[in-house]
A and B are shown apart, each in its own frame.
Chain A
Amino acid sequence: MDLSYNAEELAFRDEVRGWLRSNLPAELRQKVESYQELSKDDLLRWHRILADKGWVAPDWPKEWGGTDWTVTQRYIFEEECGFAATPPLVAFSLRMCAPVLLRFGTDAQKQKFLPRIYKGEDFWCQGYSEPGSGSDLASLKTKAVKQDGHYVVTGQKIWTTLAHYADWIFCLVRTDGSKEKRQDGISFLLIDMKTPGITVRPIILMDGGHETNEVFFDDVKVPVENLVHEEGKGWTVAKYLLGYERMGTGRIGASKRELARLKELAAHHTKNGKPILDDPRFRDRLTRVEVELMALEITNLRFLDQMRRSGKPPGADVSMLKIKGTEIQQAITELMMQAAGPLAQAYRPVDAMDFDHFTARLAPRYCNMRKATIYAGSNEIQRNIIAKATLGL
């Protein structure tokens, strides 16, 4: 048993770390570190820096710009990015739309979309959830009717993250409502956000931020060539994607960075004249989070080692990483807010006063991160998946 990386992997880690140090713009790093909202320009700026380097889509096939890294190298790269506080990559484009096109798309679709995704020319969002279809995704109602070489789409999507930045949306729609099994009759469509009939309405979350939206479709005409895979086979595509979505949800590198920041914060803020870090009640809670994170890092590496050995994609076990990873992320935000104590009450300046304290970002961050156990398949759904697929219950 050997828990350390081999010489090549260590060299790779150092290469990535060194490159990030000199290529991640300081203002982007600071924004990420201090939990400030990232603009579309911020996201795309980082996307293009990585694209220029050739590292923006490591898991794509080499011919489309992939890096041909091993699973371990990909993991190292992600953790180093998290640790260095890079902006997130646009997962809807790179990690969701692209893998679907690569697996199910026609040559024409690949040629049309993949290079633009790679270069950051198209920004994608995901049209899955509907007001009545959250965890129970297969109950979705948005309708697509075929007419004269088009699908005419009518309905509503919700929780559409970054739809207000998006050029395109990939959608699950119902093309046949007569099927007995709800999973049948669903299709996967690519829709240009500029098409007439699409309305995007912001949803403001409790931290005051604008990340998600409602998207309304009112007789939106989508060319039939924008269908991915066969008509009525959208559920197969969606299931394929869900595994992808859960990959990398452990976010070990980012949590390590945030935990270090939490310790700094707790060393700085005092209780009875002593750092709150040395308060046993606070410290015990922090330590338990740190221990869970240490354990999760090893658990993640163990899964990786299994994947490497078997050459198979991850199974239902990945759900465990999502559950633990998001619980840890949430616990850190809570402890950060508590470390700041009464100072965490400050939120936003009323007028133009100078007001940019890190502590003012902590309560909003805490509020915002409640989403982590809800999105990408709520943690309850993840438990269902493990119960069913791993335990046979």
Chain B
Amino acid sequence: MNFELSDEQQLLADSLRKYLANDYSFDARAQIVASSTGYSEKTWAAFAEMGLLGIPFAEEHGGFGGNAVDLMSVMEVMGESLVVEPYWTNVGVAGRLIATGGSEAQRKRILPALIQGKQRLAFAHTEAASRYDLRSVGARAKRSAGGFILEGEKRAVLHAAAADTLIVSARTSGADGDPSGISLFLIDRGARGVTLKEYRTIDELRAADLWLNDVSVPADALLGGEGQALGLIEDVADYATALLCAEAVGGIRYANDTTLEYLKTRRQFGVPIGTFQALQHRMVEMVISYEQARSMACLACVKVEAAGGAERRRVISAAKIKVADACRHVSQESVQMHGGMGMTEELKVSHTFRRLTMIAQTFGDAEHHLERFAAADAAATA
């Protein structure tokens, strides 16, 4: 039993925290958010420089061969500073899909470029009616002479416009909702027939709806086995959820720290408002939420690669339930205790509120995971 970070993990987190303190102040971030792309190439290059983009990938591709625990402290720091660059999407989602599902040639082509910051990806999976059901894929891919032709619509594709390459799920067989028949394809964002409508999300990221109209891709655009992608997608959803839990822990920590500071400095009726027991006890509950969420983020990051099958689903869903509940609890309380100021664009706490709110329902909200936990629990103990 050991909850300490290793020296390397600590070093990575520290160097990122130091970089963000100098180059990613809340004001600097606001400018990035307001920019046309909504992310900073300079920051991205710095992440590549620090080696952050290569943490979980194999050494032969230029990575460090790390695991989810190695990413945990980095994700926490990203959460503290509300980093808007597509780190999680590239390292935790799309990059993971390439690393676990890609052919030798695909991995060789994409991972070194990703790690060096020269190529970015996004994962286009969610559709209008799919909600959090990973099997719900209506987009279709038909065999053609040279490869496949794709047709369909995707929604809320995070960081799509920042990506050079999109990983798109489409059905090569079966009906919407079938576990088999789902395939993944690598598609250039600028390919003929691909239309993006980009928008800002409430938590200041960028996303896009995506239309695939008669998009033609070669046979080697297929990522993983034809019709066999569900396992890959489920794996990446669990992996990315564990990382998201860690990001949430960072956000929650910030919200708690800044709220505690506010309780000590804001004066009303001639005294700091932190002297009121009604607020003290609520602050304590926020701290308990943080500790419990942090425990579950640790468990999720340790187990997501060590456990498999129903046990993995059980642990990841448990973590997401706790983290989603904690996100909601802490974000709401932190705004409430800041009073009117908590409502404003001016304070970082309102931005943290928005990010935590969206994390709570990314890859499944608490209700989704309550349902999944019950099924996994029955399967794990059967």
Q: Do A and B come from one complex?
A: yes
Interface hit among A139-147, A288-296, A332-340: A288-296
Task: Let me know if B299 and A294 touch, CB within 8 A.
Answer: yes
Considering the complex, which residues of chain A in the window 1-55 have a beta carbon less than 8 Å from any beta carbon of chain B? Answer: 1-6, 9
Judge if B295 is at the interface, Cβ distance under 8 Å: yes
Judge if B264 is at the interface, Cβ distance under 8 Å: yes
Judge if B302 is at the interface, Cβ distance under 8 Å: yes
In the complex, how many angstroms separate the beta carbon of B8 from the nearest chain A beta carbon?
Answer: 12
Task: Let me know if A301 and B1 touch, CB within 8 A.
Answer: yes
| Complex CA–CA separation, A98 to B72 (angstroms) | 43
CB < 8 Å neighbour of B1 from A6, A288, A291: A6
Judge if A108 is at the interface, Cβ distance under 8 Å: no
Task: Let me know if A393 and B280 touch, CB within 8 A.
Answer: yes
| Complex CA–CA separation, A280 to B263 (angstroms) | 39
Interface hit among B97-105, B137-145, B285-293: B285-293
Judge if B318 is at the interface, Cβ distance under 8 Å: yes
In the complex, how many angstroms separate the beta carbon of A38 from the nearest chain B beta carbon?
Answer: 30
Contacts of A1 in B (CB 8 A): 2-6, 69, 72, 298, 301-302
| Complex CA–CA separation, A72 to B3 (angstroms) | 13
Contacts of B285 in A (CB 8 A): 383
Task: Let me know if A393 and B302 touch, CB within 8 A.
Answer: no
Considering the complex, which residues of chain B in the window 254-298 have a beta carbon less than 8 Å from any beta carbon of chain A? Answer: 260, 263-264, 274-275, 277, 280-281, 283-285, 287-288, 291-296, 298
Judge if A149 is at the interface, Cβ distance under 8 Å: no
Judge if A380 is at the interface, Cβ distance under 8 Å: yes
Contacts of A5 in B (CB 8 A): 1
Task: Let me know if A302 and B2 touch, CB within 8 A.
Answer: no
| Complex CA–CA separation, A295 to B295 (angstroms) | 6
Task: Let me know if A391 and B296 touch, CB within 8 A.
Answer: no
Instruction: Give the most central of A4, A5, A288, A305: most B CB within 10 Å.
Output: A288
| Complex CA–CA separation, A9 to B3 (angstroms) | 16
Contacts of B277 in A (CB 8 A): 384, 387
- Residue of B with least CB distance to A280: B371
| Complex CA–CA separation, A250 to B285 (angstroms) | 16
Number of interface residues of A (CB under 8 A): 41
Assess A383 versus B321: contact at CB under 8 Å? Given A72-B1, A299-B295: no
Contacts of B318 in A (CB 8 A): 287, 290-291, 294
Task: Let me know if A4 and B1 touch, CB within 8 A.
Answer: yes
- Residue of B with least CB distance to A303: B291
Task: Let me know if B288 and A324 touch, CB within 8 A.
Answer: yes
Judge if A323 is at the interface, Cβ distance under 8 Å: yes
- Residue of A with least CB distance to B72: A1
Judge if A311 is at the interface, Cβ distance under 8 Å: no
- Residue of A with least CB distance to B282: A383
| Complex CA–CA separation, A392 to B259 (angstroms) | 13
Judge if A386 is at the interface, Cβ distance under 8 Å: yes
Task: Let me know if A324 and B292 touch, CB within 8 A.
Answer: yes
Assess A287 versus B287: contact at CB under 8 Å? Given A2-B1, A380-B281: no
Task: Let me know if B295 and A302 touch, CB within 8 A.
Answer: yes
Task: Let me know if A291 and B321 touch, CB within 8 A.
Answer: yes
Task: Let me know if A383 and B284 touch, CB within 8 A.
Answer: yes
Judge if A284 is at the interface, Cβ distance under 8 Å: yes
Judge if B370 is at the interface, Cβ distance under 8 Å: yes
Per-position 1/0 for A368-393, Cβ under 8 A of B = 00000000000010011011001111
Task: Let me know if B298 and A390 touch, CB within 8 A.
Answer: no
In the complex, how many angstroms separate the beta carbon of A388 from the nearest chain B beta carbon?
Answer: 8
Task: Let me know if A393 and B296 touch, CB within 8 A.
Answer: no
Judge if B374 is at the interface, Cβ distance under 8 Å: yes
CB < 8 Å neighbour of A3 from B1, B5, B263: B1
Judge if A309 is at the interface, Cβ distance under 8 Å: yes
- Residue of B with least CB distance to A295: B292
Task: Let me know if B284 and A387 touch, CB within 8 A.
Answer: yes
Task: Let me know if B322 and A295 touch, CB within 8 A.
Answer: yes
Judge if B373 is at the interface, Cβ distance under 8 Å: yes
In the complex, how many angstroms separate the beta carbon of B193 from the nearest chain A beta carbon?
Answer: 42
In the complex, how many angstroms separate the beta carbon of B106 from the nearest chain A beta carbon?
Answer: 31
Instruction: Give the most central of B263, B281, B283: most A CB within 10 Å.
Output: B281
In the complex, how many angstroms separate the beta carbon of A193 from the nearest chain B beta carbon?
Answer: 38
In the complex, how many angstroms separate the beta carbon of A314 from the nearest chain B beta carbon?
Answer: 14
Judge if A298 is at the interface, Cβ distance under 8 Å: yes
- Residue of B with least CB distance to A306: B3
In the complex, how many angstroms separate the beta carbon of A199 from the nearest chain B beta carbon?
Answer: 37
Contacts of B69 in A (CB 8 A): 1
| Complex CA–CA separation, A291 to B30 (angstroms) | 37
Per-position 1/0 for B1-18, Cβ under 8 A of A = 111111000000000000
| Complex CA–CA separation, A306 to B321 (angstroms) | 26
In the complex, how many angstroms separate the beta carbon of B270 from the nearest chain A beta carbon?
Answer: 17
| Complex CA–CA separation, A291 to B284 (angstroms) | 20
In the complex, how many angstroms separate the beta carbon of B136 from the nearest chain A beta carbon?
Answer: 20
- Residue of A with least CB distance to B315: A294
Judge if A320 is at the interface, Cβ distance under 8 Å: yes
| Complex CA–CA separation, A323 to B69 (angstroms) | 29
Contacts of A384 in B (CB 8 A): 277, 280-281
Instruction: Give the most central of A2, A3, A297, A393: most B CB within 10 Å.
Output: A393
Contacts of B264 in A (CB 8 A): 392-393
| Complex CA–CA separation, A291 to B245 (angstroms) | 14
Contacts of B298 in A (CB 8 A): 1, 3, 298, 302
Contacts of B274 in A (CB 8 A): 393
Task: Let me know if A291 and B280 touch, CB within 8 A.
Answer: no
Contacts of A6 in B (CB 8 A): 1
Contacts of A302 in B (CB 8 A): 3, 291, 294-295, 298
Task: Let me know if B4 and A309 touch, CB within 8 A.
Answer: yes
| Complex CA–CA separation, A237 to B283 (angstroms) | 30
Apart from A1-B302, A323-B288, what 13 extra A-B contacts exist at CB < 8 Å?
A1-B5, A6-B1, A287-B377, A291-B318, A295-B292, A295-B322, A302-B295, A302-B298, A306-B3, A383-B280, A384-B281, A391-B283, A393-B263
Q: CB within 8 Å of B: which residues of A?
A: 1-6, 9, 72, 278, 280, 283-284, 287-288, 290-292, 294-299, 301-302, 304-306, 309, 320, 323-324, 380, 383-384, 386-387, 390-393
- Top 8 closest pairs, chain A to chain B, by CB: A298-B295, A387-B280, A295-B292, A383-B284, A383-B281, A393-B274, A299-B295, A295-B295
Complex A-B: 8 CB contacts under 8 Å: A1-B72, A1-B301, A306-B3, A380-B281, A383-B281, A386-B287, A387-B280, A393-B274
